[in-house]
Amino acid sequence: MGKRILCASLFVFFLLAGALHCLAAAGEKPPKKAILLVAFGTSVIEAQKSFNVIETEVKKSFPGVETRWAFESRIIRTKLAKEGKVFLSPESALAQLMDEGYTQVAVLSLQTIPGVEFHRLNQNARLFGQMVGGFDKIRIAWPLLSSHEDMERAAKAMLKNIPAERKPQDAVLLMGHGTEKHPSDAIYLAMYGILQELDPNVFLATVEGYPSINAVVPKLKEKKVKKVYLVPFMAVAGDHARNDMSGNKPDSWKSVLDKEGFTCEAVLKGTAEYPEIVDIWIDHLREIFDRL
């Protein structure tokens, strides 16, 4: 008799436990998703319109999803803060989203190559999914140039947006950022090769990597180029584009090329202002967002 009562009690216990579990599951809140856009940042007002283009396209592609920004550069964040414009670091922005109850986050890096900054972002962001009470899911999208297909799409997009008045004999020189501290710098050389296949008078050099402007000047002379269009190959036409590329200081690309006898014309437009380039970033974001 005692065994029957014990068995009956256990049966009722498990039945109630199952019912409570089902009720709890039924009462679970749906996942709360957000998108974090991460850029190095810029304090140049004219260049910030590139970020507006990105944000508009992201919101159009992911309607109703909370979208936030983060700037990686502490110097730029500090400078903007003095102007009353507050931008968080990626880590602070993720902590804020976590505190606000977001459970799933897709992070889009607006870097051009997966270099030092991207891998730092990737490492730190993933920690927010590993900590107790962190995000249920967090995914980090690859930067602009992350495959051969990306490079081909980006090269065709840049060629499509060359100023219409450019003549075939005129050269176009793209300025990438480059890095001396990461093997991903080699992506620029691969990109250079693709551009040359599409148009032999389109060149690419970097500010802080390879190839440099000094490696390109002899090639321009070999082709007897007279005019060079200078075009940023960075998300925004910020400080590098306005000073290192087209500025008047002695070591700017424009000054170097002027001294060598070339006529220069600068195009101050970041890659984030080209719809075809933005589409590549959006595709990378969509790929990870669908896996949240």
Q: What is the average pLDDT across 28-54?
A: 88
**Catalytic (active-site) positions:** 177
N-to-C CA span, the chain: 53
Confidence of residue 6 (pLDDT cuts 50, 70, 90): very low
Q: Which among 238, 7, 34, 271 has a CA at the least distance from the CA of 136?
A: 34
Q: Are 50 and 270 in contact (CB under 8 A)?
A: yes
Is residue 48's pLDDT more than 90?
A: no
Share of the chain above pLDDT 70, in %: 90
Q: What is the average pLDDT across 87-111?
A: 97
- Long-range CB pairs of 82-89 (<8 Å, 24+ gap) are 83/43, 87/41
Q: For position 264, what pLDDT does the model report?
A: 97
Residue with tokens 């390879």: 210
Q: For position 45, what pLDDT does the model report?
A: 81
Q: How far apart are CA 190 and CA 174, in angstroms?
A: 14
Q: For position 276, what pLDDT does the model report?
A: 96
Is residue 258's pLDDT more than 70?
A: yes
Give the tens place of pLDDT for each residue, 81-93. Answer: 999 999 999 999 9
Is residue 20's pLDDT more than 90?
A: no
For the ranges 18-32, 128-142, 172-186, 269-283, the lowest mean pLDDT is seen at: 18-32
Q: What is the average pLDDT across 60-87?
A: 95
Q: For position 181, what pLDDT does the model report?
A: 80
Is residue 80's pLDDT more than 60?
A: yes
Q: For position 257, what pLDDT does the model report?
A: 97
Is residue 22's pLDDT more than 50?
A: no
Higher confidence at residue 207 or residue 11? 207
pLDDT, the chain, mean = 90
Q: Are 218 and 260 in contact (CB under 8 A)?
A: no
3-state DSSP: the chain helix, strand, coil percent, rounded to 5? Answer: 50, 15, 35
Confidence of residue 4 (pLDDT cuts 50, 70, 90): low
For the ranges 19-28, 104-113, 171-180, the lowest mean pLDDT is seen at: 19-28
Is residue 23's pLDDT more than 80?
A: no
Q: For position 5, what pLDDT does the model report?
A: 45
- Cα angle 114-247-264, degrees, rounded to a multiple of 5: 95
Higher confidence at residue 112 or residue 7? 112
Confidence of residue 29 (pLDDT cuts 50, 70, 90): low
Q: Are 273 and 215 in contact (CB under 8 A)?
A: no
Enumerate domains of the chain plus CATH numbers.
33-144+275-289 (3.40.50.1400), 148-270 (3.40.50.1400)
At 55, list the tokens.
């944000």
Q: For position 13, what pLDDT does the model report?
A: 39
Is residue 8's pLDDT more than 50?
A: no
Q: For position 112, what pLDDT does the model report?
A: 97
Is residue 184's pLDDT more than 50?
A: yes
